[in-house]
Structure 1
Amino acid sequence: MSELSSYQEAVELLQKLGLKEYEAKCFVALSRLPKATAKEISETSDVPRTRVYDAIRVLETKGLVEIQHSNPQQFRSVPIGEAAKTLRAEYESRTESLVDALESMGSASLNADEEVTHEVWALSGESAIGNRLLQLVGDADEEVVLILGREGTVTDELLERLQSARESGVDVLVGTTTGAFHDRIEGALPDAEVFVSELSWLHSSPSDPDDDTAISRLLLVDRDTILVSSVEEDESGSVEYERAVFGKGFTNGIVVIARRLMAMGLNPIDDPKPRDE
């Protein structure tokens, strides 16, 4: 990545974290200098000098910039690690405030007796899908069957959630794509049933060699909740985007088929009788 593109990325990310454009540019400029005057910040950041002072005042309020009251005044950014912690704390605080505000208005969610079943919904974004998967695993009462198509989907939080489910008496079955991947998961989840899945089409379509879509996660919870996600990969194998579909209340043949398919690799396949429809 070039210096220019790194600069632009840093400014854009700071804006996403709540800074305005001039504030972000001034902070990035200061992070590249041991200290600087308003004139030097303006020259480095292309922020008009008259606007530098306003931006610095906001950055100081946020705890991101230090000021030396000399003549002329000197400014410097706090260490990058410290700035990251400050921004993270503010972001989390805003998120908590948002949750409190939304909850204070009352939830529009359906209660257990009103929940609609046999509906399929779509969700996009790797982070959002990962969070939904964690929630579904946490809600499990009897069984979790999870096929992991990519090692990148495994996080410490996911392993902790699966281990917690197992400790609460939930049967946890995890399928992987390779032996090395299997050993990693088995070491992290010694009480779970870990196996190498025989779903060879997870990473490619046998009928279409140009298909660059790979199955990322397959989840079946309590034999009535399904989540399936796929990713589009570039030539280097990096994930460009992840999409998922999920639904609840499927107490019918589709779940039997899904579970038997997902359990390919278990020997023998442990397939409890489906619940009464």
Structure 2
Amino acid sequence: MDELSNHEEAVELLQQLGLQEYEAKAFVALTRLRQGTAKEISEVSDVPRTRVYDAVRVLESSGLVEIQHSNPQRFRAVSVGEAADTLQQKYDSRTDSLRDSLEAIDSVSTDAETDVTHEVWSLSGTAGITSRTQQLIDDADQELVFVLGDEDIFTEQLIERIRAAQQRGVTVIIGTTAESIRERVQDELPGTQVFVSGLAWLSGSLWSDDDTEIGRLLLVDQSSILVSTFHESAGGEHEHEQAVFGRGFDNGLVTIARRLMATGLPAVEDPGTGES
């Protein structure tokens, strides 16, 4: 069952990266065969034999398959590592081209545009929320307070972003919901102020019928706030992550948010007031 699931997932992911269905199936078949004829690929992949040749030609032009001009022709996939690098370069190139194209598009002014002093927006999906989290950390100039409600959020990418912020001179304060997470953060980011949050509701619901859990709390330069939540499935697994993001709040709200987020860290001085 696991092998079948891996096979289907690999085909689906390859399609998401730009391959057509038959191309993805043929490539996965070749990773299993190491090398094979069109007939063998067809038998393993369920791709019609007449379509195998077209799929393999596309894969060859993409640098994913090699052809031996024997009789009959034999085909083999490049190594998994080489294939992943090739697809990543292609994906990165298209992403860069997309960024350039979007940035070159002229903006259109509307009557609805106003000089907003503060704003609140909602975000949905872990990928988008993670991207916004990283952007906020990258933009930090003075301080970021980050409370981790879920250990899975503490990824290598996030660690690299926080290290870069520290190297810029940004003060970093990290709260966790468990001692084990605190120890991991300290190991990865030595010298960082790390504490176990004193907010009990971060690691569990106050109400038995509420399946919502806090994913992450982030306050950057006392002006931008991001709060995300997960909903638990019946099996206790985290499902879809949602978040609200805001910036430009007045000092009162920011002060309250900062003091709440730093609950559990002794004698945290509030830069806005100079008080502990």
Q: TM-score, structure 1 length as denominator?
A: 0.89
Q: Where do 1:44-123 residues align within 5 Å?
A: 44-106=44-106, 116-123=116-123
The answer to whether structure 1 residue 219 and structure 2 residue 218 are counterparts is yes
AA at the equivalent of 2:73: Q
Query: Residue by residue, what CA displacement relative to the aligned partner does 1:103-162 show, whole Å, maximum 9, x if unpaired?
Result: 2224679xxxx8633221111221221121111112122221110111111122322322
Q: Equivalences for 1:131-210 in 2 at 5 Å? A: 131-207=131-207, 209-210=208-209
Structure-2 change in CA distance of 1:171 and 1:2 (3 Å): closer
In structure 2, give the amino acid aligned to 1:240.
E
State how many pairs are aligned.
Answer: 270
Contact kept in structure 2, 1:218 and 1:229, CA below 8 Å: yes
* Consecutive unaligned residues in structure 1, runs of 5 or more: none
1:261 paired residue number: 260
Contact 1:203 1:213 in 2 (8 A): no
Say if 1:155 and 1:106 are closer, same or farther in 2 by CA, change over 3 A.
farther
Mapped partners of 2:244, 2:273: distance in 1: 22
The offset of 1:18, in angstroms, is: 0.3
Over residues 181-239 of structure 1, what are the superposed CA-to-partner deviations in whole Å (9 max), with x where a residue is unaligned?
A: 212222333333211111111132122x2433211110111111100011223455543
1:249 paired to 2:248: yes
Identical pairs, percent: 59
Listed as ranges, the gaps of 5+ residues in structure 2 are none
Question: Is contact 2:177–2:203 with CA below 8 Å preserved after alignment?
Answer: no
**What's the Cα RMSD here?**
2.2
Q: Which amino acid aligns with 1:38?
A: A
Query: Helix, strand or coil for the counterpart of 1:206?
Result: coil
Post-superposition Cα deviations, 1:77-117, rounded to whole Å, max 9, x if no partner, equal 112122111111111111111112212224679xxxx8633
Give the distance between the partners of 1:5 and 1:183, measured in 2 at CA: 35
Indicate the residue corresponding to 1:11 in structure 2: 11
Q: Would the aligned equivalents of 2:64 and 2:77 in 1 still touch at CA under 8 Å?
A: yes
What SS does the corresponding residue of 1:32 show, helix, strand or coil?
Answer: helix
With the length of structure 2 as denominator, give the TM-score of the two structures. Answer: 0.90
Q: Give the whole-Å Cα distance in 2 for the aligned partners of 1:203 and 1:192.
A: 22
Cα deviation for residue 169 of structure 1 reads 2.7
Post-superposition, which runs of at least 4 consecutive aligned residues in structure 1 deviate over 6 A?
none
Structure-2 separation of matches of 1:89 and 1:256: 44
Deviations for 1:161-185, whole angstroms, at most 9, x for unmatched residues?
2233233232211111122221222
Aligned to 1:228: 227
